[in-house]
Structures are given as C-alpha cells and as structure tokens.
Structure 1
C-alpha cells in the first residue's frame, strides 16, 4: 500500500495486493460485509482508486442473471481500467474442490469482457478478518488476510474520524430513534408551532448547533430540536447546510455529520427528512454508500415526496461516483449563503 497527496489536499490510496484491498473494504464501506459481492472500478475517471464501489448481498442462483445485468450496466457507464471483484462468505453446498459462488463470478467475467472491462484477479474469502484465507478464482494465487484494524489504511481512516461498524445491522441501529416517547413529544411540540422563524434566525440556530457539535456537545433539548426542525425546513438553510460536507475547514464535515445523525435520531417525521437528507449527502460524498442509502431511505420514509433525497438515491443506485455529486453542496454555487456559517 502506498499513499500520495493530490493537489487539492486529498490523499490517494493505492492498494497493491489483493489482501490489502480486501481488508480495506470494511473501512471503505463503513461496515464489515458478510455474504456479500463487492465490485469496484479500478483507476476510474473520477481519480479515485476504487469508485464506484458497490456492495450487494450474494444472490441466490435464480437472481444471479439480474445482478450481473445490473453490474454490467452500472460499470459500463463508469468505465475505469477494470473492476475489482470480491466475494465474501462461505457456501455450504458448493463442491469441496471448487471455490464458492464460482458460477456467479464466471457470469460476471463474461459480462464485463463483453463490454471491454477487464476483471483481473476476482477473489473469494469466507470472511474479512485477520487470519482468514483468500483465494483467486482465475489464478493460483492465495494468501492470508492481515489484521484489518492494524493496517496503515485503518489508521488513516481513524485519523479522519471515520467509523467502521462490525456489521450492516450495527450501522442501521445508529439511525434508530433515541427515545420513541421523546420523539412523539417533540412531534406534538412541532404541531403547536405558530409562525415560522425568520430566515436569519434559522441560520443562527443552525450555526449555534454546529458550534455545539464542534465542541462535542450534542445533548439537544426538545426546544432546540424543534427550532432546528423549523430552521432546516427552510430550503435555503437546508441547501446551505449541504456545503458543510465539502467545506475545507478542518473537522467541520465530520462534526456536521455527527449533528445530522443526532437529529435523525431525535426528530419526528416528516421534519426528519431534512436532516436525514443532509446525513445521506454527507455520507455519499465521502464514499460511504451504505450509510448514505440508509439515511436517504430514512428521509423518504419520513417524507415520501422529498425531492433531494429521491434525487440522491437515484444517483447512488446508478453508481454515480461521489465526486460527481459534490457540486450539489459546492459553497461556490451557494454563493454568499455559505458565509452564514463563518466561524464554525
């Protein structure tokens, strides 16, 4: 593994060995995948080493054709130098002399070859944990996975404040309501609102909350949650908040994302859709597709007609790389409104 700094300050990670790539997946996805098919573009046009990055449940035989067609279509739209393919999970019914999920990998290889996309070294591992063995489907190469928590890439992710969950279910639990009775209580308070806050007061309310988040103070009162729901319900405020995910101010994207997550857990529907959309966008632009999808699904559950969430979810399902959706929250496009958060 090697690292280099790009002109814009981003760090490029080059994963040179199959084992390095496999143990990087939990950190790239945000959780440890199980019984999964993971496919990523290598050296794609976005300039990222593994983008787009797609994880799917390993399909039953009757659904393999549909999965292959979806992946073929997605990566044909975002061609790179090839695709990296990792199958994770044992299969109790496969012959002992063969690798599990071999037919699925063969179908993928045929589909990608038809579209001119190389698929070098597709690999299999029963699980992504240090000491687990990995094997290649097309060559005789194999090896043992290093400790995924002790790699240079893992240390880099920790230094950037990224959290890696042990499972997809554990990640999903972070979006669950903190206290259902409290959420119901806040819903009643929101129904009693009379006049919406002026635009300036809305910006001030969000700015105060961001400053709290920067100090690690996320104990939000009922009244504060209600005021933030009112503030984020203003489209100009919500759209300006998108810029926090792409700001160059050290720590602001991470702290803002923590605030959106806390509000998702505390806010009732339909108001919850706004902070869930902000969380989904923030996760999307930093490459955590699983969390982004959960947050956007959460937003649409709170408000089925939420336009921004629907748009972002369609982009995510189409495999649009994060770099292409960053423009949604570009402070330059938002103009002077982004200066409302100066000092955060």
Structure 2
C-alpha cells in the first residue's frame, strides 16, 4: 500500500473533472490499476491514500482499516473514491464495482462517509470518468497538468512523474565507476582523519551551506563536495539536525539536495540522504517518494537504524510523526549550535 499525505488543504477544487485530474499531483505520479481515496473538507482536499487494486480485491476490510488509521479525520466531510483501471466506458456499472462497494461499506462502518465513487480508465485529459452509483453522472478528465493542485506542485518543483516506476527511476544511482571512485575517496577521507574527527557543528555548517546553495538551485557536482557531505551526514547528530527544515523554501531545497545525494553517493553512505529524503517527502506530502527513498536506504544499508525506524513508522500519518521529528531535529540542532538558515 502506498499512502500519500499532501498538506495542500488550501487548494480548492470545484468539480469531479478537476478532482480526478488532481490525482497525479496528489500522488506524485500517474497511477494505473489503483484505488485512490481522497479525504475532503467541504471542497478542500485534506489528504489522500492509494492502494493497488489487486490488494483491494484481496482484502477490502484490511485496506479500509489501514487507510482509516492513516487518513487525517478531523473535520472531514467525507471521502471520494477514484478507481483508475482499464475497462469499457459503457459497461454498467463501471469496472471493479464489487471492490468499490466493499471499500465504501468498510469506510462507512468506520465512521467515514463516502460521498462519491468515480472510475476512469486513465488520468488523461479528455478521458471519460463515470460515477458508480449515479448512472447519469459522468464527464471528462480535465488537463492534469493544469489543475490547481498541479500548478501548486510545479511552483515548488514537484511535478508528477509518468508512473511510480518513473518516480523510482528519478533516484537511479550515478555511473557505477563514479560511485566506486567516490566510495574509495570516502574511505580515504576516513583514514586521513586518523581518529581526529571534525567538530559536528562544523559539519552541520557544511550541510547548511549546501542547503543554502540548493535554495538557489545549485547542487554539489564535484567529488570533493559530495564526499564532504557524505562524511558530514555520517555523523548521527548532524543527520538528525537536518531531519526537519525551518521553512518551506528550505525544506524544498533540502529535499532536492537529498535526492541528488541519493543518486550520487555509493552504498552504504547513500542510506543517510535516503532517510532524510524519505522524511522530507513524507512531510511534504509525497508518500510514494518517501517509500521509494526508504527502499533505497534499506538497500544501501539493511541494518541502518534510522531506516528501520522510519520503515516501522511508515504506516503512521505525518501529522502524528511530525512533532517527534521536529523535536528530535530541534534538539540536535540546538546542541550543535548551528547558524541560521536561508530564506527564499
């Protein structure tokens, strides 16, 4: 199951055409063979969750139980279910009606009313969408690239990927020869230290400086810069201080930096930025990217403590884990007495 929690409740959508078109921006990719659950307050999107249809078919009860625990429930006025899968535009009812009815009943037994259930073969402009329980209710998907939610995502550099596979490919590692070279340089840096490590406060300033550069769309490119950042993030206190950023601009810049380092660092050092990326993506509303980042972290270092903790907590919604992460980051940062961050 993939659960997303975009904190964009200020974006208001006015019609089903727009709601269906907004799904890729909610998830971070264009889904297929998926059941998407959108929680709404009046006409505002509060949060969403996605599950493979194959999972929903096998256990609608378990899907509702897990999603109900994840969705923010305060002041919700209801849910909208969107099924994305191939099928006939004229069949009555639309495809996967049994799954939809089972999920709808499961949510309503748990106190979450399902207001509308929609189907579309694909989230593509002009594709027909239909209602499951109102035969005369249908329309055509608006342009996903121009939906209000997509526009908000583009402003912060978070346009939707074509698929989850495409999203995963965006974190593909650099050339193997480059990674081997950098791995050797990281080892050499550790040997040169000969037990004389740099002060964690100085290491944090190095990372902060890289985030400030990322605020201006400058990411580290040289081996020396990337190796230095790998060494800095290997200090748990420095890494913990970077878990949560001071403001949205800095958070977006940090997320870009962590993703860059995931691609540019070898294992096991890749695990540190991968964990930071997972946290940033989760708190920023991109649950799919958060899970892929955690996969990268565990692949890089199967025994990585933070990666295992984050994996265990991945079923919890960000509004529950955010206070813990903020406290951990704030205490680590205060202990290291870092300098002030950037603004943008």
Cα contact 2:29–2:162 (8 A) shared by 1: yes
Q: CA deviation at 1:300?
A: 1.2
CA distance in 1, matches of 2:311, 2:93: 37
The 2-side partners of 1:291 and 1:182 are apart by 24
The reply on whether 1:75 has 2:68 as its aligned counterpart is yes
TM-score, L = length of structure 1: 0.85
Q: Distance in 2 between matches of 1:237 and 1:299?
A: 17
2:169 corresponds to 1:173: yes
Aligned equivalents of 1:162, 1:338: Cα separation in 2: 31
What TM-score, normalized to structure 2? 0.85
Equivalent residue, structure 2, for 1:283:
281
Which digits, 9 at most, give the CA deviation of each residue in 1:198-235, with x for residues without a partner?
31331132123223322322242222222211111111
SS at structure 2 position matched to 1:130: coil
**Distance verdict in 2 for CA 1:77–1:88, change over 3 Å:** closer
Q: Which residue of 1 aligns with 2:122?
A: 127
1:66 is matched with 59
Deviation at 1:165, TM superposition (A): 1.1
**1:90 maps to which residue?**
86
Aligned to 1:32: 30
Q: Which of structures 1 and 2 has the larger relative contact order (alpha carbons within 8 angstroms, sep 6+)?
A: 2
- Identify the residue that residue 5 of structure 1 maps to in structure 2: none
Give the CA deviation at 1:105: 0.7
d(CA) in 1 for partners of 2:272, 2:60: 32
In 1, Cα distance between the equivalents of 2:61 and 2:15? 25
Distance in 1 of aligned mates of 2:21 and 2:8: 21
C-alpha distance 306-43 of structure 1, shift in aligned 2 (>3 A): farther
1:4 aligned partner:
none
**Alignment gaps of 5+ in structure 2:** 1-6
130 and 230 in structure 1: CA distance in 2 versus 1, 3 angstrom threshold: same
Picking from 91, 94, 97, the partner of 1:99 is 94
Matched with 1:161 is: 157
Q: Residue 17 of structure 1 corresponds to which residue in structure 2? A: 15
Q: Does residue 144 of structure 1 match 2:145? A: no
Contact map agreement 1:128 1:145 (CA 8 A) in 2: yes
Kindly tell me: are residues 313 and 220 of structure 1, through their superposed partners in 2, closer, same or farther at Cα, counting changes over 3 Å?
Answer: same
Structure 2 residue aligned with 1:268: 266
* CA-CA distance at 1:104 after TM superposition: 0.8
- Residues paired across the two proteins, number: 324
Structure 1 66/205 Cα, relative in aligned 2: closer, same or farther at 3 Å? same
Give the conservation status (yes or no) of the 8 Å contact 2:128–2:141: yes
- 1:279-322 C-alpha deviation (Å, 9 max, x unpaired): 11000001100001000111111112223222333333x2x332
> SS of the counterpart of 1:122?
strand
Name the counterpart of 2:225. 224
Task: Indicate yes or no: 2:326 matched with 1:329.
Answer: yes
2:3 is matched with none
Please tell me the root mean square deviation across aligned C-alpha atoms, in Å. 2.6
In the TM superposition, residue 172 of structure 1 has moved relative to its aligned partner by: 0.8
Q: Give 1:189's aligned residue.
A: 185
Give the 5 Å matches for 1:108-119.
Answer: 108-119=103-114
1:183 touches 1:267 (CA, 8 Å); kept in 2? Answer: yes
